[in-house]
Amino acid sequence: MFESQEKPRRQPDMIPLVSVIFLLLIFFLIAGTPTSPAYLDITIPQSNSKNKISGKNLKVYLDKQGMLGFEQQTMDIARLIEIVKSKETAINVQVHADKQVNAHKLISLLDALGATLANKVILVTEERHDPQGKK
Amino acid sequence: MFETRRKSRRINLTALVDVVFLLLIFFMLTTNFTRNTAIELDVPNKVGLSNDSWKGAIIVRPNNKNQVQLNAELVPISRLEPALRHLITASPNKKVIVKPYNNVALETVVKVMDMAKVNGASSLSLIK
């Protein structure tokens, strides 16, 4: 009577599931921007600037204690300048600085970068969504 | 001879699904969707203050008590905007130098730079 139920079990068809997951994966890869590195805790300031970040830049991180991060490691200004100076062509530097860092630390970094081939330094900020947010 | 084999073979996708799920979770956790924008900063040696073009620039000096010294006058940051707009409109070259006091958070400096830009500053310089 129950013999018919014991026929070989069919495996569920996984192909639609794989397609959907791939789509989601590609969406997150393209639409998202990676957050700051895990070794430094950085919250960038908000601004009304509409300038987009373009081109290839060296990414430098500056946390609220003034600790510098570059290429997955922390370092002091002197070491960073040594690395930037070793680059043979003029480069752009992109600074991701924490909103609570002492502004003088950023200015010291700018001063130091002035002695290198860095031809443009940009400060990365988060676009402000609040239209009243000028204040 | 090989007919029976051909009939029932399907690729096992479970391992692939596992890996793709892991990647998906990784990207979901490490991405954010806020748009990043840029403020271009002067590299001091390229546009130095010794340059004559910065003569007569407006000097804005934020401190850490939510006040800003605008040329010689001390203004609360909430009332900075109209005062700054007035000065920039009257200024011939519309250049602004932001010179924060020590221990001023970058957030405050960015706010002041933003205000200057919105109110018509042509170039901004950040110095110590």
Tens of pLDDT, residues A90-133: 778 888 899 899 988 888 888 888 777 677 788 888 888 765 54
pLDDT of B7 reads 57
* Closest by Cβ to A32, choosing from B33, B108, B126: B33
Q: Are A113 and A93 in contact (CB under 8 A)?
A: yes
CA B107/CA A21 separation, integer angstroms: 39
- Proportion of chain B in helix, strand, coil states, percent, rounded to 5: 40, 25, 35
- Three-class secondary structure of residue A58 per DSSP: strand
pLDDT of A2 reads 55
pLDDT of B2 reads 53
Structure tokens at A120: 């443009």
Band (pLDDT 50/70/90 cuts) for residue B8 is low
pLDDT of B128 reads 82
Residue A29 pLDDT exceeds 50: yes
List the single residue in A with minimal CA-CA distance to B102: A104
CA A42/CA B26 separation, integer angstroms: 20
Question: ipTM > 0.85?
Answer: no
**For residue B78, which residues of chain A lie inside 8 Å, CB to CB?**
135
Residue B72 pLDDT exceeds 70: yes
Chain A, residues 68-107, CB within 8 A of chain B, namely 94-95, 97-104, 106-107
Chain A, residues 39-68, CB within 8 A of chain B, namely 44-53
pLDDT of A34 reads 65
pLDDT (mean) for B56-78: 86
Say which residue the tokens 């109209």 belong to. Answer: B82
Chain B, residues 69-88, CB within 8 A of chain A, namely 78, 81
